[in-house]
Structure 1
Amino acid sequence: MGIIKAFESVLSIVLMVSVGAFLNYRHWFDDDKSNLLVDLVIKVSLPALMIYNMMSNFTKEELLNSGYGLVVPVISMAICYLISFAVAYIVGIDPSRRGAFRSMFFNSNTIFVGLPVNMALFGEKSLPYVLFYYVANTFFFWTLGVSEIRKDSTIYNEPDSSKSVFSIETLNKILSPPLIGLLIALFLILIGVRLPTFLLDTLKNLGGLTTPLSMIFIGITISAIKIQNIRFDKEVIALLIGRFIVGPATIILLSQIFYMPKLMRDVFVIQSAMPVMTNAAIISKAYGSDSEYVAIMIAMTTVLIMIVIPIYIYILSYI
């Protein structure tokens, strides 16, 4: 795939994002309507899509043989987490946002951005691999990631000792509707249940909403960015290197150690290069950390993936 093909492969993504930005510019969306898009995707279309695609693409034997797909994302994120400590020290990240920096360094937006991007690039056959990365990423974020963000509150603000990292609330966050949809699909496959055609068709049609609604929401988010708040200092550059270079590089290196089908490797690379998780801003605000800093990084990394994706598609075609 040449560089022209690489750009063409993300053209539909850019167009859908542009629709969201244009509609927001025309004041079609306020906070409530934007939140409705999120709820529709996270609580309705995405769980339906996961159940449909898992049950359509996997038999019990294939599922059991694909379990190793979790190993590489886990190792990659663990490596990036350790690297984030060294980078934060070398760059001299402000202590009041050092934890947020480390959390954003190794966690990516694997569902709301990663899933529709991979489906647009590789089709529905990429979904199982998207889900493997998503499971590892979700666990790391709601444990180590939240723990790091929480550390900032002891410096940036007063700590909230009433909130525990390992709690029922954390478990509820990990067991999000998309993950519950995945677990339901895994259970049905393992016990050999086959859903009736009318139900599978319903799940497929609901799941089809995921990509366009997600891209429209990304467009809304990008169009709301205040240019004056964007600056490229050493902290920002260090984080961009972590998100767009270190993460994908560890996946590529690990693919030389662990056998992975090309599609799995390509999906993992794209997933590791996705923007900062939007939940990072919510958690930062909840724990009294520097949520504005996190929000700006989410916006910046979301915009820059439009440049990063074609580059990686081009690179992956030659390795």
Structure 2
Amino acid sequence: MTLSAAGILMVADRITILLILIAVGYLAFRLSILDRQATHKLSLLLLHVTIPALIIVSMQIPASPELLSGAVVFCLAIGVFYLLAATVAYIGTLLLRMEDRERGVFSFAILFGNVGFMGFPITETLFGTASLFYVALGNLVFNLLVFSAGIVMMTGRYEFNPRLLINPGIAASYIGLTLFLLGLRIPSPLFDAMELTGNLTTPLAMIIVGSLLATFPAKEMIGDLKTYLATGLRLIVLPAATYLLLAPLIDDPLVLGVIVILAAMPVASTTAIFAEIYGGDERFASRLVFISMISSIISIPLIGAFLI
């Protein structure tokens, strides 16, 4: 089966929105509306306020036996995916000569795709509203890993410190999961306020990425071998390998489709944010976000056409 032309255009439209928001951040920096200090403060607001709100809100969905059963399969499968991604990232760092600050960014970019803003609308476009629960669950796993292993990658401190788990992102993940399992709903005024706050995450993250892109010459956006290798691994190799590995093991086409599409997401915008905050190479990180996002305009609709 093939994805309709309207579906392909809808997927491309969501990605184009992100690119426009990046352009807004780029122009804001160039016009001196933003500077490095303002960008850093916005990054802290994103990590400590808007992302935690988004995590909790995304888990405010009704539970059912079918969802819980599918969740078990999904969690096992997504664990396999992250092990696969970690292996691919490790091999990539061995093949290329990179500085320590680049190595952390490269590994982070391979492991973590933009499964939040892009994951929800794209999977809904391809598979319908039934897919959103699994995307929310995937975001929970993503946040547990990005705020623990992701920080370790960026800081280069490979002796794991349990205190890395004490942060707003992890706390929000635990709160969201607890509320989901207990079937508790956040009262309307508070929920609405949290939802509005969480909705700031996507535009804020893209504007920050654009601002970071504006800090170096435009010609550097083109990237280098490392940029294109990471993009190819992220957009083509990972989803293809995920499908080949999991297709014989998963009977539910919805669960398999969601995992493969999440595996095909471009580099997470938080790659640039984390690099800026935790001492990674933010220029390399911003190029990875930019190049992979542009490339995904073609790759995601094609992968979606294969899956549907």
TM-score, with length taken from structure 2: 0.76
Structure 2 CA distance for aligned equivalents of residues 165 and 201 of structure 1? 40
Q: CA–CA distance in 2 between the matches of 1:165 and 1:283?
A: 19
Aligned to 1:265: 259
Contact 1:77 1:107 in 2 (8 A): yes
C-alpha displacement of 1:68:
2.8
1:159 maps to which residue?
none
Partner residue in 1 for 2:54 = 49
Matched residues in 2 for 1:251 and 1:215: separation?
27
Q: Once the two structures are superposed, what CA deviation does each residue of 1:29-58 show, in whole Å capped at 9, x if it has no partner?
A: 123322332233322222222222311x23
Report the residue type matching 1:133 in the other structure.
G
Q: Measure the CA separation in 2 of the matches of 1:105 and 1:217.
A: 17
C-alpha separation in 2, matches of 1:145 and 1:206: 24
**Which residue is equivalent to 1:107?**
111
Q: Does 1:297 align with 2:289?
A: no
CA distance, structure 1, for counterparts of residue 55 and residue 147 of structure 2:
21
User: Equivalent residues in 2 for 1:147-186 (5 A)?
Assistant: 165-172=159-166, 176-186=167-177
- The alignment of Structure 1 onto Structure 2 pairs a total of residues equal to 293
TM-score by length of 1: 0.74
Other-structure match for 2:73? 68
2:84 to 70, 79, 82: 79
Q: Do the aligned partners of 1:16 and 1:216 also contact (CA within 8 Å) in 2?
A: yes
- TM-fit CA distance, 1:299: 1.7
1:211-237 deviations in Å (ceiling 9; x for gaps)? 222222222222223345567554444
**Within the alignment, does 1:225 sit opposite 2:226 as a pair?**
no
Task: Say if 1:51 and 1:85 are closer, same or farther in 2 by CA, change over 3 A.
Answer: closer
Give 1:240 deviation, angstroms: 3.0
Output the amino acid matched with 2:59: M
The reply to whether residue 309 of structure 1 matches residue 303 of structure 2 is: no
- Per the alignment, do residues 44 and 105 of structure 1 end up closer, same or farther by CA in structure 2, a change over 3 Å counting? closer
**RMSD over aligned Cα, in angstroms?**
3.6
Separation in 2 of the partners of 1:28 and 1:98? Answer: 29
Moved more, 73-82 or 4-13: 4-13
Listed as ranges, the gaps of 5+ residues in structure 2 are: none
- The residue type paired with residue 83 of structure 1 is V
List aligned pairs for 1:108-123, cutoff 5 A: 108-110=112-114, 114-119=115-120, 121-122=122-123
Whole-angstrom CA distance in 2 between matches of 1:98 and 1:206: 32
